[in-house]
Structure 1
Amino acid sequence: MKPQDLPEHRLSHSTGKVAGLLYSLCCYLCFLLTALYLMGFLSGIGVPKDIDSGPSLDWRLATLVDTLLITLFAVQHSGMARKGFKQWWTHFIPAPIERATYVLVTCLVLVLLFWLWQPIRASIWRLESAWTQGMLTGVFWIGWGVILLATFLISHFELLGIKQALDAWRSPKPENPTFKTPLLYKLVRHPLYLGFLIVFWATPSMTAGHLLFAALSTLYILIGVHLEERDLVELFGEDYRRYRQRVAMLVPLIKRKPDASSNQQK
């Protein structure tokens, strides 16, 4: 049977799936390019404009601009991830490409941040010895390794929208979400966020602008963790509550002690 002999709605449906997959792959490519630029933006390696370069404004105006940029990212990144927004959003964006669209919008907001970021070059610390510079630079790249590993432990391609577009072809049966704690998730509840905290703070040369970026991003992560854990408790119930009691949130060496209500439930 030739394509022109197929029913029109069936051909259109197949075309939509192809378009959705290509769109998701393009969004994934945007993510890879943005992630690479973020590495260079924070490290000052291989990018035309990093966190400490470019023309600068008065430090007070620069602080205001940079704070607004971080706030814009926080509102977009966290707001679009909430369940209520997703339910509203999928009235306009097909479900198979909803996650990819979220990834794309996040990338666009980050590109805006890279473009408009105002450096504040006042030095907070600067390590002079080669071994301390090398040590902190190594920690910085270890942080990126933690981030990459964490994404694969929680399904890298689902996190970034590729799996959803592929599922539109396979029509998989709905599955109840299974609570798992692979590898790093046995040490901390949010290794992905831990990796980001490492790369934000691990620098041998900390300027006031970099410090502002790191501090505001850390504040956003702490708020984001609270919102995410609320969603996870709703999704996994008692399994996640028990997990939260025995595993630290971000710092592996800090263990939480079960509270009285947990002991009574046992």
Structure 2
Amino acid sequence: MEYVLLTLSWTIFYTLHSLLASSKLKRILRVKIGSGFKWYRLFYSAFSLVLIIGIMFQSALIPKMIWISKGSFTMYLGYLFAAFGTIILVKSAKKIALSNFIGFNTSEQKPEKLVISGIYSKIRHPLYAGLILVFLGYLFFSGSVTAAVHLACLLAYLPFGIYFEEKNLIDLFGDQYRDYRSKVPAILPWI
């Protein structure tokens, strides 16, 4: 039952994540709340953080059930995947204005240009790729069913998350993003 509730928590988080990030909702809220909209991104980031902390707390309360037996090789794989995932996350964060991404910059400016250099020239969604590797690393390191549920929920969400994120990017950048999308793979550089 704990795993069903954990899956439900991730489903709620990912659904709210996509809903609150949608261009349509943002357009509606921009009209409804006017100048207060400049705080929306910060609210969205804080709300997401609170939900993730809640999910992590919930998963910590689940009795640990081992799915993959721990050994030096699985721990090595865990560290390896998590390290590569962290490197990808850091490299992708360097290419975007983190203060805008989180919402600390409240000056409602749209991004001036589409970021297609660095790691973004190899994959369109390096943040997702990094998260997959970090979650996979956690699975190998801990070997728990809970870690497997975290990873499975992320993998199940990705097609939806990518679809909605790209819809927003097309609204923002139009043909420039369509052209970029046709040339650069989503998550895996060789596909």
Shorter-chain TM range is 0.7 to 0.9
Matches within 5 A, 1:251-266: 251-254=188-191
Q: Structure 1 residues 175, 231: CA separation in 2 closer, same or farther (over 3 Å shift)?
A: closer
Matches within 5 A, 1:1-266: 61-90=1-30, 91-92=32-33, 94-117=36-59, 119=62, 121-129=64-72, 133-164=75-106, 167=107, 177-202=112-137, 203-254=140-191
Return the offset for 1:175: 6.3
Quote the residue 1:31 is aligned against: none
Structure 2, gaps ≥5 residues long: none
- The count of aligned residue pairs is 186
| Alpha-carbon separation, structure 1, partners of 2:7 and 2:40 | 28
- Percent identity at matched positions? 22
Aligned equivalents of 2:103, 2:62: Cα separation in 1: 33
One-letter code aligned to 2:178? R
Deviations 1:158-199 (A, max 9, x none): 1011122xx38xxxxx66742230200000000011000100
Deviations 1:18-44 (A, max 9, x none): xxxxxxxxxxxxxxxxxxxxxxxxxxx
Q: Report SS of the residue matched to 1:78.
A: helix
Please say if residues 127 and 204 of structure 1, whose CA atoms lie closer than 8 Å, have aligned partners that are also in contact. Answer: yes
SS of alignment partner, residue 186 of structure 2 = coil
Instruction: Write the distance in 1 (CA, Å) between the matches of 2:183 and 2:171.
Output: 18
Query: 1: CA distance between counterparts of 2:8 and 2:111?
Result: 39
Length-normalised TM-score, structure 1: 0.64
Query: Deviation of residue 123 (structure 1)?
Result: 2.5
Taking the aligned partners of 2:105 and 2:47, their CA distance within structure 1 comes to 18
Q: Which amino acid aligns with 1:159?
A: F
The runs of 4+ residues in structure 1 deviating greater than 3 Å are 174-177
The CA distance in 1 between the partners of 2:128 and 2:188, in whole Å, is 10
User: If the length of structure 2 is used for normalisation, what is the TM-score?
Assistant: 0.86
Could you list the per-position Cα deviations for residues 93-134 of structure 1 after superposition, in whole angstroms to 9, with x for gaps in the alignment? 7122111111111111112212223536332223423x5523
Inter-CA distance 120–216: structure 2 relative to 1 (3 Å threshold) = farther
What SS is found at the alignment partner of 2:114? coil
The one-letter code of the counterpart of 2:135 is: F
Partner AA of 1:152 in structure 2: K
The separation in 1 between residues aligned to 2:66 and 2:77, in whole angstroms, is 19
Gaps of 5+ in 1: 1-60, 169-173, 255-266
Deviations 1:69-102 (A, max 9, x none): 1011112211110112223334347122111111
1:215, distance to aligned residue in structure 2 (A): 0.4
Question: Structure 1 CA distance, aligned partners of 2:14 and 2:100?
Answer: 21
Structure 1 residue 251 displacement after superposition: 0.4
In the alignment, the residues of structure 2 paired with residue 220 and residue 83 of structure 1 have an alpha-carbon distance, to the nearest angstrom, of 19
